[in-house]
Amino acid sequence: MLTNEIIRLQAEAQQDYVIESRRTIHRFAEVSGKEFKTSAFIEEEIKKSRSAL
């Protein structure tokens, strides 16, 4: 398979997750420099991704 095709398939597989994550982050509506809920969300997602390895 071509590299571009592999990348496209991987991106499509992650599309729903990325959209939902963006919506979650945008629901928080925090002031710049005080993104505590956003930071906590991202930290949790990183922990999940590390445990999946």
For the segment 4-29, what is each residue's pLDDT rounded down to a tens digit? 999 999 999 999 999 999 999 999 88
Instruction: Give residue 45's pLDDT band: very low, low, confident or very high (50, 70, 90).
Output: very high
pLDDT greater at residue 52 or residue 50? 50
Using a pLDDT cut of 70, give the percent of the chain over it.
Answer: 96
Q: What is the 3-state secondary structure (H, E, C) of 19-44?
A: HHHHHHHHHHCCCCCCCHHHHHHHHH
- Domain spans of the chain, in order of start: 3-52
End-to-end distance of the chain based on CA atoms, in angstroms?
24
- Average pLDDT of the chain is 92
Give residues with Cβ within 8 angstroms of 21, minimum separation 6.
41, 45
Confidence (pLDDT) at 18: 96
3-28 vs 36-52: helix axis angle to the nearest 10?
140
